[in-house]
Structure 1
Amino acid sequence: MSTAKADLVLRGGKVFLGLGAGFTESVAIWGGRVIAHGSDSELESLIGTDTRVIELNGRLAAPGLNDAHQHLMSVGLGLSEIDCKKDTRLQDMLQKVKEKAATAKPGEWIFGRGYDHFELDMKRHPFREELDQVAPNNPVYLKRTCGHMGVANSVALTAAGIDEGTAQPDGGHIESQNGKLTGLLQERAQEMITKVLSDHTIDALAEGVRAGQQHNLALGFTSVTDPGVGLRQGYDEWLAYQQLRRQGGFGLRMHLMPLAGASGWPDRAMDLGLMTGDGDEWLRVGPMKLFTDGSAGGKTAAMFNPYIGEPENLGIMIYEDQQLFDYVKDYHDRGYQVATHAIGDRAIEQILTAYELAIGNDVETQSNRRHRIEHCGFLNADQLARMQRIGVLPAPQSIFMYEFGDLYLDVLGEEVSAKAYPFRSFLDAGLYPSASSDAPVSSTNPFQNLYSMITRKTKRGTLIGGNEALTLEEALHCYSYCGAYGSFEEGIKGTLKQGQLGDITVFDRDLFAIEPEEILEASADLAIVGGEIMFDRQAEAA
């Protein structure tokens, strides 16, 4: 009797099967799923004439990386926009705007993202007058790296109907100094710009998704959650994902959160019958996505205690309590999972209360709803215990500690910063903390994220809250299984056990055999999705 042969076998390396499942030398895939793992000799019989064999040569293979919170469409679209991420001189950023304006048509929008005013030599945001000087005939909008604020020039402000007499919007702020607009718009004030931005066509949005997927595959990702489909262009963004899927353009698996609340399109989603969990292994509907506050780096995350040096600044709350409570109760009662952006402890308090009110006294049966707190950055022990009691999952970003940790020390102090994004506490509490980038807020680079999870060091080498560090096994677990758990998919992905989807990331080295600092130099050689090689670094270089 002949033995069925595998479609794909990886052998001759270290294969990480998942937390607590150990390691092996080989893994075999047939029909898009894992059918066996073991030693090279044990899997030899599964290799036939049509089996594709990948020699790992000592490299590490692991369950496919899953970025559980990344604005993938924005990442893809951003590849053709002004990238201010690495700018340390304000003049360099302005020069990029000037060069873009020189090739733009009069009236064409110029959009950029990624600057951090704390990293700029001037230690401030650009002023609208400075943008006016380099782009007098084009509306310009530059978003800070956090995405919760940005600066517009005068043409853009006029297009949005914003002047010195404009009333402050609910949940947002329009900055003025000495009675004049600076161009800085925070939180929901940005919606006034978004409403007048030139719309992308559905084809262009779909191209953004395709580009974002290719970018992620090259980093080793096999799954991504887009946490706020509709942030810029509403329902059109959902259509773009659907179009690309119909055209067979998907290379990795997507989990999509419809933007909900006052600025989203929840009524349309409900009219369409879109429900959490709908879809398939390639494209699945996620939770309704809400926002409660801003960013710690931008000093708009809602905190109980003020930011250092700003005794009146407690951050910005997007919704009044009852309004948020009503949204959450409505979505919960309709059967949706709910995911809510909350970074500061005051915002986390608000959304936890909303979840508790929605669940009510029926914790035993309702705690399996897996409502989420996206980011969940600065919380206290009582809030952690409440999350544990009602089964609320955190979706934190350790890479924030790597990129912004030194800034947290400046604006919040050492004691608060040491407890930020507490992966160890989350994991020990059984809360399945998923790893993610929140790109384009932070880099999509998974190796910076892994490094931060296991060292708690910033990009400047500052150690912050070392007691919250994980082992590498645990960090990879957060980057695979916990992400799957957050989307109710742990039964089909997140490990390399038999029967799981054949989603595998192959690194260029054995991450377990090197010093943590060398992880920052690592890369992904292969991204395998459903047994198909979606990215091959060697082939790309040929």
Structure 2
Amino acid sequence: MKADYLFMNGEVITVDEQNTVAEAVAVKGNRILAVGTSDEMGKYTAEATKIIDLNGKTLMPGIIDAHIHLTIYGTNLLGVSCIEHHIQSLEDLFVDLRKKVNETQKGQWVRAWGFKESNLKEKRYPTKEELDGISTDHPIVIIRTCNHTCVVNSKALEIAKIDENTPDPEGGIIERNTDGTLTGRMIENAHMQVFQHASYTNEEIRKGMKLASEEFIKAGITSIHDAGGYGEGSETIRIMQQAVKAQEVKVRIYAMVGSLTNSHEFVKKMVDAGPITGLGDDHFKIGPAKLFTDGSSVGPTIATREGYTHSPDDNGIIYYSQEELNRILGEAHEKGFQLTAHAQGDRAIEMLLNCYEAALDSHPRQDHRHRIEHAGISSPDLQDRMKKLGVVVTPNPVFIYANGDKYLEYYGERVEVMYPARDFIEKGIVAAFGSDAPVTYLDPLLGIHAAINRESMDKQAVGKNQCIGIMEAIRAYTWNGAYASFEEKIKGSIEAGKLADLVVLDSSILNQEQHKIKELKVVLTMIDGKVLYNPENHTSNDLKMKVKV
């Protein structure tokens, strides 16, 4: 059997059981044919074989982002970005919003995303009145980077039927001035409810999914675990499947059954409908049933057992009572679903573990791989329970880089057990890394950098005791992600017979200085044996060409 592609003379990080570093890989069709030395791979060469000389660069398994929001990331690309370098103040943002208003039909939504008040000169949110000054004919919504808070204008409040007499929804806050008037800021469930009215059309969602898939592939991401979006979840999953079938979305998808709004209703609908975790194929599969239990780590609105360090009387928001959590997820477990929930604070994690214990006591199941999304403040007692229950966690090391200074302010010494990758490894808890993009940065190499260095963007140490090694970080972004979706036998490592999902970096990651990991770039991404990203197009047309990446 001859290869379609031969990757030669490289640093091949296989992520096999022995963490073997090989030199060459042969690919046939959509599978890995063989792994070994460059000389050994020579026997697979044919006239039509495309030979890629890596010249010492890293070849590694395709990145599996175990927690990301495909729809939100994609539709954000259709709105105003608050993370552009030129936006240094509220007025800079207002200029871009005015431009968008001028391009948008009256009555249609104007949306901005990625807002972070601490990044701006004023260090505050815009007011409802300031947004009214931009337009009262267009509903305007500015979504904070965490996707748990937004600010809206009067037109948006009118459409959402929210006024001074509207009570706070359960698990949410409609912020008010001291005189009872609305500020325009919507927190947690209040934000989620507003965005039901600001949702995108199906055509916009599908267009956004395609754009997001292209960005993911450029970043070396070959598989994602989609953590849901706004709106009615079953409609989003339907559109997602259509986009995958039409090959508009080319990353592999493990779709969580959850949404940012009324996730319990979507879970109930899917449980009653009959499909369970694992339904699908190698390109699209139904994932776990997912709820939200608490809020945002940088809100801060996560549910903690003790008050926040900077605000001792505040310990966050809980979405469901223990009884409700047990009932909703317990039924999904009974029907065969893998379970998961967004749980950031130690109080929320404790409640979720209580739920899993109750579900497994009532209906025991081997190898359930129930998950915890984020697992933010994972104290030692909670880690012990995770290990005992066989729980998989999906921490987000890039949060340390992006938000570490705020974590130190909000949680104090608890940063020592925030997203504690070292503890998870030492206790034998499988931790699959995810970016949570667009909540924060997409780049998995930045995520690997953050896990290794545990420093914030401004170089503050944030729980240095939780630093891990480069091979451990790569495994968390590859094989562990495959394990979290019951797919470790077909992907997540470079071994003969597995799917040919591969990534090439612009140099050796093992020889890169520890504090410069984030500077590495992806120069080739292969999914299903097809090169989908290769900006210099090294492997096109000339089938005999021996190329250098």
TM-score (norm 2): 0.94
Larger deviation: 291-300 or 18-27? 18-27
Q: CA deviation at 1:119?
A: 2.6
Q: Secondary structure at the match of 1:350?
A: helix
Aligned residues: 534
Q: Which runs of 5+ in 2 are unaligned?
A: 541-549
Question: What's the CA shift string for 1:30-80, capped at 9, x where partnerless?
Answer: 131112111111110101012111111111000111111000121111112
Alignment-mate amino acid for residue 352 of structure 1: L
Q: Secondary structure at the match of 2:119?
A: coil
Which structure 2 residues correspond to residues 29-44 of structure 1 after superposition, within 5 A?
Answer: 29-44=27-42
Preserved contact between residue 400 and residue 442 of structure 1 (Cα < 8 Å): yes
**2:267·2:332 contact (CA, 8 Å) conserved in 1?**
no
The reply on whether 1:68 has 2:69 as its aligned counterpart is: no
Partner of 2:6: 9
Query: Residue 478 of structure 2 is aligned with which of 477, 480, 493?
Result: 480
Q: Report deviation, 1:320.
A: 1.5
Which residue does the alignment assign to 1:351? 352
Preserved CA contact (<8 Å) 2:80 2:112: yes
Which consecutive aligned stretches of 4+ in structure 1 deviate over 6 angstroms post-superposition?
none
Displacement of 1:16: 0.6
Give distance in 2, aligned partners of 1:280 and 1:234.
Answer: 20
> Counterpart of 1:349 in structure 2: which amino acid?
E
1:248-327 → structure 2 map (5 Å cutoff): 248-259=247-258, 264-327=265-328
Note if contact 1:70-1:438 (Cα within 8 Å) is conserved in structure 2.
yes
Q: What is the percent sequence identity of the aligned residues? A: 34
Stretch of structure 1 that moved more, 397-406 or 318-327: 318-327
Kindly indicate whether residue 153 of structure 2 is the aligned counterpart of residue 153 of structure 1: yes
Separation (CA, whole Å) in 1 of partners of 2:166 and 2:263:
20
Aligned counterpart, 2:227:
227
Q: Deviation string for 1:77-109 (max 9, x for gaps)?
A: 111211112544222222221221122111110
Contact 2:268–2:328 (CA<8 Å) still a contact in 1? no
Cα displacement string for residues 339-365 of structure 1 (whole angstroms, at most 9, x for unaligned residues):
100000111111111111111177xx6
The match for 2:336 is 335
Tell me, in whole angstroms, the C-alpha distance in 2 between the residues paired with 1:151 and 1:380.
34
The secondary structure found in structure 2 opposite 1:265 is: helix
Once residues 535 and 200 of structure 2 are traced to their aligned partners in structure 1, the CA distance between those partners, rounded to angstroms, is 35
Supply the distance in 1 between the matched residues of 2:158 and 2:414 (Cα, whole angstroms): 40
- The equivalent of 1:386 in structure 2 is 385
Partners in 1 of 2:539 and 2:49 — Cα distance?
24
User: Aligned equivalents of 1:31 and 1:269: distance in 2?
Assistant: 35
Change (3 A) 1:15 1:472: same
Instruction: Give, in whole Å, the separation in 1 of the partners of 2:533 and 2:265.
Output: 34
Of stretches 269-278 and 15-24 in structure 1, the one that deviates more from structure 2 is 269-278
- 1:119 paired to 2:93: no
1:398-443 deviations in Å (ceiling 9; x for gaps): 0000000011111221x11122110111122222111111001011
Q: Which moved more, 1:271-280 or 1:395-404?
A: 271-280
Deviation at 1:503, TM superposition (A): 0.8
What secondary structure does 1:520 align onto? helix
Map 1:70-109 → 2, pairs under 5 A: 70-86=68-84, 87-109=87-109
Provide structure 1 residue ranges, at least 5 long, that are not aligned to the other structure: none
Equivalent residues of 1:234, 1:264 under 8 A apart: no
Is contact 2:288–2:337 with CA below 8 Å preserved after alignment?
yes
Specify the alignment match of 1:528 in structure 2. 526
Task: Give me the CA root mean square deviation.
Answer: 1.8
Task: Name the counterpart of 2:461.
Answer: 463
The equivalent position to 2:442 in structure 1, one of 430, 441, 444, is 444
Q: What secondary structure is seen at the aligned counterpart in 2 of 1:195? A: helix
Q: Describe the superposition over 1:113-138 as per-residue Cα deviations: whole angstroms up to 9, x where unpaired.
A: 11112332222221111111122221
Task: Give the distance between the partners of 1:299 and 1:531, measured in 2 at CA.
Answer: 43
Could you say what secondary structure the match of 1:278 adopts?
coil
Give the TM-score, by structure 1 length. Answer: 0.95
**Offset at residue 310 of structure 1 (A):** 2.3
Letter in 1 for 2:116: D
CA drift of 1:266 comes to 2.7
Equivalent AA in structure 1 for residue 253 of structure 2 = M
The amino acid across from 1:69 in the alignment is H
The Cα shift of 1:271 comes to 4.6
Query: Which deviations, in whole Å up to 9, do the C-alpha atoms of 1:254-313 show, x marking residues without a partner?
Result: 110121665542344235432100111100110011100011210100111212342321
Q: Secondary structure at the match of 1:241?
A: helix
Residue 400 of structure 1 aligns with which residue?
Answer: 399
Amino acid at match of 2:4: D
Amino acid aligned to 2:11: K
Structure 1, residues 217-245: CA drift from partner, whole Å, max 9, x if none?
011111111112x5334322112112112
Query: C-alpha distance in 2, partners of 1:393/1:521?
Result: 30
